[in-house]
Amino acid sequence: MADLKATFEAAVANSKNLTERPDNATLLKIYALYKQATAGDNAEKKPGFSDMVGRAKWDAWNGFKGTSSDDAMQQYVDLIESLS
């Protein structure tokens, strides 16, 4: 667990230094996995129709509902490694 957390934190740092900016779908997946790993299941109220970015982020995060924190961390690490 401690190793995964350290690897996850390193991947978070690496995500800020990617050679090229990922497409929006990938950015949403990065966001959602990060939120699932750090905050757990989405319990926030869904944003209104006028907040398109907020809704996209909410939907992406909600798509990982039920995923364990450790599993989300591992998926995040794998995704960032594939982009590096």
| Domain ranges within the chain, ordered by starting residue | 2-83
The Cβ of residue 24 has, within 10 Å, a number of other Cβ atoms equal to 10
What pLDDT is stored for residue 1 in this prediction? Answer: 60
The 10s digit of each residue's pLDDT in 3-33 is 999 999 999 999 999 989 999 999 999 999 9
The 10s digit of each residue's pLDDT in 70-81 is 999 999 999 999
Question: Exposed, middle or buried, 22 (CB in 10 Å: 0-12/13-18/19+)?
Answer: middle
The 10s digit of each residue's pLDDT in 59-69 is 999 999 999 99
Query: Is the pLDDT score of 2 beyond 80?
Result: no
Average pLDDT of 33-38?
A: 97
According to CATH, what is the number of the domain 2-83? 1.20.80.10
